[in-house]
Amino acid sequence: KQEVTQIPAALSVPEGENLVLNCSFTDSAIYNLQWFRQDPGKGLTSLLLIQSSQREQTSGRLNASLDKSSGRSTLYIAASQPGDSATYLCAVGGSNDYKLSFGAGTTVTVRA
Amino acid sequence: DARVTQTPRHKVTEMGQEVTMRCQPILGHNTVFWYRQTMMQGLELLAYFRNRAPLDDSGMPKDRFSAEMPDATLATLKIQPSEPRDSAVYFCASGPTGLSVADTQYFGPGTRLTVL
């Protein structure tokens, strides 16, 4: 069974600082890895999707890397803003069944 | 702006009552997922469908939970009888095919269920 771990569980930074969120997974046989954002009381919104053959994806201030062999992904958010405050979840897609396994999330607070 | 809709958004019920949650996936999406989110367990997959056929419901307590797709525009999740431990936020998500490495899932706003 795929186990997904996110460290740290919570993070508080001043505005303008770069954010680094970590995700690790136990089974490297994956077909993709996704980063989602969840605002309080809301559903999840997909931020970035990295296919198993890719090493990274970028969207604006967000960059996510994938190292399948070591079972790790990192989400970088440059020049953080208060609007980036949310919970960020990492999800790994299994190669056999296409189901997503989620980490517990990292709750980010960006202080103005 | 296509989005997944869920009803009701909030539900408070007494233990032992039947609860039905509904989801309208994005038009044209072939896969539908039901998740449950709690503080203790995080986000858990309960069931998923492709082309309206159930593919996996191994995450669902079979004795009280049931999931169906009566048609392509409606997915339902029922709990009968409900118990206090079922209190959680239930999310529905839909995806284009479920067979491509480029597929993501689009989540609805969730149904917050409280069982007293």
Tens of pLDDT, residue by residue over A26-59, are 998 888 999 999 999 899 999 999 998 999 999 9
Sign of the C-alpha dihedral, residues B77, A97, A42, B46?
positive
B102, A103: Cβ pair inside 8 Å? no
CA distances (Å), B113 to each of A43, B25, B56, in order?
15, 20, 23
For residue A96, pLDDT over 70 is answered with no
Site from A44, A45, A92 to mutate, B interface, most B CB atoms within 10 angstroms = A44
Q: For A11-20, how does the pLDDT look when each residue is reduced to its tens digit (9 = 90+)?
A: 999 999 999 9
Query: Cβ distance A21 to A88 under 8 Å?
Result: yes
pLDDT digits (tens, 9 = 90+) for B9-37: 999 999 999 999 999 999 999 899 999 99
Determine whether the interchain pair B104/A49 forms a contact, defined as Cβ–Cβ distance below 8 Å.
Answer: yes
- Determine the pLDDT at residue B98: 66
Distance between CA B33 and CA B78 in Å, rounded?
14
Tens of pLDDT, residues B66-104: 999 999 999 999 999 999 999 999 999 999 876 777 788
Tell me which chain B residue has its CA closest to the CA of residue A95. B101
Answer whether A4's CB lies under 8 Å from A103's CB: yes
3-state secondary structure of A93: strand
**B110 vs A contacts (CB less than 8 Å):** 42-43
pLDDT at A97: 67
Note the pLDDT tens digit of each residue in A64-93. Answer: 999 999 999 999 999 999 999 999 999 998
* CB-based burial label for A17 (10 Å; 0-12, 13-18, 19+): middle
User: Does residue A1 surpass a pLDDT of 90?
Assistant: no
Contact A51 B93 (CB under 8 A): no
| Residue A31, pLDDT score | 87
- For the CA atoms of B57, A33, A97, A8, the dihedral, rounded to the nearest 10 degrees, stands at -50
What's residue B102's pLDDT?
A: 73
Is the Cβ pair B56, A102 closer than 8 Å? no
Q: What is the CA radius of gyration of chain B?
A: 13
CB A11 within 8 A of CB A19: yes
pLDDT > 90 fraction of chain A, expressed in percent and rounded: 84
User: What is the predicted pLDDT for the residue at B96?
Assistant: 85
The yes-or-no verdict on residue B57 having pLDDT over 90 is no
Compare CB distances from A32 to B42, B43, B101 and report the shortest one's residue: B101
Higher per-residue pLDDT: A86 or B1: A86
